Amino acid sequence: MKSPPVLIYVILGVILLPLSVSQDWQTQAEILRDCVLLVWAVSVVNLLYLNGALNHVLGIKPRQLFGLVGIVFAPLLHTGFSHLISNTVPFMLLSWLVMLRSADLFFAISVWIMTVGGLGTWLIGRDRNHIGASSVVFGYLGYLIAVGYIETTLIAILTTLAVLFLYGNRLGTMLPSSQTSAISWEGHLFGFLSGAFAAYQPNLLGQVNLWLSQL
């Protein structure tokens, strides 16, 4: 995903300041840091030392039994550093917005998107290797847009409008007719749908959160 100008992020931060001041900034920053460090650490090892070998082993391979492992590992893998960087910025922004909206359910939302979005890609995806964090990014995008539709609060509406302004032009990448073979439109589509569905099912997310707390 291409990143909008830095000024846009500054404007978004100002819009969301009334909400963010009441949140635990340190905890949010630590979560974001750990997530980004994990993805980058895996990518550095994979790309620099393993010549991308993990991409062929741990990606989502549709309708292959071993390809199911990609549901867990595919978001950590990227084809190159340009691919990694293009996903890092929107991941940081959108995951932060999700935390601002639903801090206690952030991990449940993330696991749900990875699982359901990955499974959808595995079931109907093209016969190719699907990797990258963009499926999770689109999941957060779907969640935030749906929350803005469901809720009628000013902050929810402003968040949705800001997200649409930033990344609305990328929604077309969920359509098969607009894609090259290098882009997983399936990952984008099922990530988005899983995130939107999660916004409509807070009780389900609560169950996922309970399950995670018992691990």
Q: Are 25 and 100 in contact (CB under 8 A)?
A: no
pLDDT at 16 over 90: no
Residue 24 has phi, psi (to 5 degrees) of -85, 95
Mean residue pLDDT of the chain comes to 88
Angle at 122 between CA 119 and CA 123, to 5 degrees: 90
The structure tokens 């340190």 sit at 26
User: How many other CB atoms are there within 10 angstroms of residue 25's CB atom?
Assistant: 9
In the chain, the percentage of residues whose pLDDT exceeds 90 is 61
| 103 vs 53 pLDDT, higher one | 53
In the chain, the percentage of residues whose pLDDT exceeds 70 is 87
Per-residue H/E/C for 37-66: HHHHHHHHHHHHHCCCHHHHHHCECCCCHH
pLDDT of residue 20: 54
Q: How many residues can be counted in the chain?
A: 215
Distance CA 156, CA 146 (A): 10
Condensed to tens digits (0 to 9), the pLDDT of residues 133-169 reads 999 999 999 999 999 889 878 888 888 888 998 898 8
pLDDT at 12 over 80: no
pLDDT of residue 154: 82
pLDDT at 36 over 70: yes
Instruction: Please report the domains of the chain, with CATH numbers, ordered by start residue.
Output: 6-213 (1.20.1540.10)
The amino acid occupying position 99 is: M
With 0.85 as the threshold, say if the pTM is over it. Answer: yes
